[in-house]
Structure 1
Amino acid sequence: MKFYKPDEYQAGCEALFLQIKSKVLVLLPHARVEHIGASSIPYAVSKGDLDIFVGIESDEFESSVKQLSSLGFQEKVDTLRTAELCMLESILQEDVALQVVANGSEFECFLKYRDLLCSNATLVKQYNELKLSCEDLSLDAYREKKSVFVEWVLAER
């Protein structure tokens, strides 16, 4: 697994985020569309992927998930799927995912995590060290280590 330094990927991810955000808002004008994941955190290393939070009212959740397929996204298999969370992956661009979340649900933790790291350079340093220590691990092992860190950050604050 390869990780990139911020100057190697963040500008490209931000430009792509803005493009996708504008398309999502044309389709779903009442959605909250926010850049999340490592590419949204200053100085964070990353696999170079782009994660986007799409907040939707609960009563529009399922229809919004279906509508987003018209932008070239499909439901990602083998991930948590609930009535309040659906991960979609791009079939047009590699390493682009939408986290479709019911507004007010526990899954707004994606935003909380991003905000905590954006405001704490020590956490970013720890996050980077964790990621770089995983370069020789499988994707599943990396995700497990990362999940423990994310849960610790969210629980401690």
Structure 2
Amino acid sequence: MDADDALFRLAPDHYRARADAEQLYRSVSQRLIRLLPTGSEIMHVGATAIANCLTKGDLDIMVRVDPNEFAEAEQALASLFARSRSDPADGFAGFEDASASPHLGIQLVARGGAFDMFEKFRDRLNASPALLREYNALKRDHDGAAMEAYRSAKDRFIARTLRY
């Protein structure tokens, strides 16, 4: 990890970042449909899936599967992608492709499990201009700051947003 990886940086052009993420989403989702169990749901989540949300320019995809298909889906994703920095937990596994442009993160969640909340968070921000303004302010406040500090503030914001 170089020094820049330890900092949170907003994309200089959010419209371009959103377009790049959407293009990659279309490509990756087609690969995932062929790879994953039939009932899997594949969704574009994260900042590039939220209208007018500031972004660092990466793509986040959530894959939701039935709990009894989680192990199969996890193996399938592990065959193509590196595990992300988060540790696999019951009902959640993170994957990434740092060589993708933009950077790709995939969150595998068990349907109805504790981590099945990425879609809910995205939808809450898309439905609430006030929450979106607050989230964008949080991002602006952390632009150029330590990634760890940004993630901590973001985690608190997500927890509060999901309680509504």
TM-score, with structure 2 as normaliser: 0.88
Q: Which runs of 5+ in 1 are unaligned?
A: none
Task: Say whether 1:154 aligns with 2:162.
Answer: yes
**1:99 alignment partner, SS class:** strand
Q: Does structure 2 conserve the Cα–Cα contact (< 8 Å) formed by 1:44 and 1:128?
A: yes
What is aligned with 1:102? Answer: 110
- The CA deviation at 1:112 is 0.7
Aligned counterparts, 1:6-155, within 5 A: 6-28=14-36, 29-70=38-79, 72-77=80-85, 79-90=86-97, 92-93=99-100, 95-155=103-163
Query: Kindly, what percent of the aligned residue pairs are identical?
Result: 28
Over the aligned positions, Cα root-mean-square deviation in angstroms equals 1.4
One-letter amino acid matched to 1:62? A
Unaligned runs of 5+ in 2: 1-7
Q: Which amino acid aligns with 1:2?
A: R
Tell whether the 8 Å contact from 1:30 to 1:56 is kept in structure 2 after alignment. yes
Moved over 6 A (4+): none
Distance in 1 between the 2:131 and 2:35 partners? 36
Secondary structure in structure 2 of the residue aligned to 1:82: coil
Q: Give the letter aligned to residue 97 of structure 2.
A: S
TM-score when scaled to structure 1? Answer: 0.91
> Per-residue deviation at 1:83?
2.1
What are the Cα deviations for residues 36-71 of structure 1, in whole angstroms up to 9, with x where unaligned?
A: 00010000001101100001111111121111233x
Number of residue pairs aligned between Structure 1 and Structure 2: 154
Distance of aligned partners of 1:135 and 1:91 in 2 relative to their CA distance in 1, 3 Å threshold:
closer
Paired letter, 1:82:
A
Within 2, Cα distance between the matches of 1:19 and 1:73? 15
Provide the secondary structure at the position in 2 that maps to 1:107.
coil
* 1:58 and 1:84 in contact (8 A); partners too: yes
Residue 35 of structure 2 aligns with an amino acid whose one-letter code is: L
Which structure ranks higher in relative contact order (CA pairs < 8 Å, sequence separation ≥ 6)?
2
